[in-house]
């Protein structure tokens, strides 16, 4: 069976092997998994109503669950400018397509004034792509289950997000709970810089947080399939998939 496929993006054609997807998402799990922002872990519970039990093990005809979670806190999620505006903007409207040219760059945040920060200078080799995927060091399996609350994780400086915006990057993906500092008194400098909050707001630009890129995936250029759940909200769970580009 032939698995190679040609994808046309921005007047260029790229050959990818669709049988070799690289999933860089973290899943929402029942009472487990990655977390942030000082709230409890997700809950997945079966429904019980009018004598019906939504659990086959308990005698029900089907498994039928409610899921309680926060997209910003539990697992990989994609957000739009509606995350920081008074006006409602849905991430479901921000993405009109799902395939993008993308570059994976690994960075080692610098120590600065008690924080670990990601600077603009770390992206001097930025290519002409639509999406940027940032993998931070150290890149351990702990990222799959870490509770980031009250840990002051690394974050992007405003200057870096300005560089991305001015370079034409429309989609930033990172393996941290936020592009901004955990406690910044609501400044949100990185979010605002990327979305040009005080200028010509970028309604079609997105930020994806809490990804995980396995160590064996090498830095370079990929095709990104950014799959986002169709939910009318400022953010929704997402499943970004990378495909290597065949020469």
What's the per-residue H, E or C state across 173-241?
A: EECCCCCCCCCCCCCCHHHHHHHCCCCCCCCCCEEEECCCCCCCCCCEEEEEEEEECCCCCCEEEEEEE
Reduced to 3 states (helix: H, G, I; strand: E, B; else coil), residue 13 is: strand
Place of tokens 């870096």: 160
H-helix or E-strand containing 132?
strand 131-136
> How many alpha carbons fall within 13 Å on the CB side of residue 237?
13
| Joined tokens for residue 216 | 């064996």
Give per-residue pLDDT as tens, 154-184: 999 999 999 999 999 999 999 999 999 999 9
User: What residues pair up with 45 in beta bridges, in sequence order?
Assistant: 66
Domain ranges of the chain: 4-30+71-246
**Total Cβ atoms within 10 A of residue 213:** 23
Q: What are phi and psi of 183, to 5 degrees?
A: -120, 100
SS3 content of the chain, % helix, strand, coil (to 5): 15, 35, 50
* Sequence-ordered alpha helix ranges (H) in 9-151: 91-94
Question: What mean pLDDT is predicted for residues 9-25?
Answer: 94
2 band by pLDDT with thresholds 50, 70 and 90: low
Mean pLDDT of the chain: 96
User: Which pLDDT score, from 0 to 100, does residue 11 have?
Assistant: 87
List the CATH code of the domain at 4-30+71-246: 3.50.30.50
Question: What mean pLDDT is predicted for residues 79-105?
Answer: 97
């Amino acid at each position: 069976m032939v698995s190679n496929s040609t994808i046309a993006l921005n007047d260029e054609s790229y050959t990818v092997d669709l049988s070799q997807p690289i999933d860089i998402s973290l899943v929402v799990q029942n009472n487990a998994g990655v977390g942030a922002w000082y709230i409890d872990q997700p809950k997945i519970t079966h429904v019980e109503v009018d004598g019906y039990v939504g659990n086959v093990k308990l005698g029900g005809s089907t498994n039928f669950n409610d899921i309680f979670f926060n997209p910003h806190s539990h697992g990989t999620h994609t957000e739009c400018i509606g995350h920081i505006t008074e006006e409602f903007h849905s991430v479901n409207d921000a993405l009109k397509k799902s395939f993008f040219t993308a570059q994976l760059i690994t960075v080692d945040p610098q120590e600065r004034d008690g924080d670990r920060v990601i600077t603009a200078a770390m992206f001097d080799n930025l290519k002409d792509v639509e999406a940027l995927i940032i993998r931070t060091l150290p890149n351990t399996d702990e990222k799959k289950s870490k509770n980031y609350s009250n840990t002051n994780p690394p974050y992007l400086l405003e200057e870096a997000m300005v560089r991305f915006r001015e370079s034409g990057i429309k989609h930033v993906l990172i393996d941290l709970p936020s592009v901004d500092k955990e406690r910044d008194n609501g400044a949100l400098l990185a979010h605002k810089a990327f979305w040009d909050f005080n200028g010509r707001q970028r309604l079609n630009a997105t930020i994806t947080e809490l990804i995980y890129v396995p160590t064996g995936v090498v830095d370079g250029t990929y095709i990104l399939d950014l799959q986002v759940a169709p939910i009318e909200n400022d953010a929704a769970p997402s499943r970004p998939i990378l495909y290597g580009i065949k020469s």
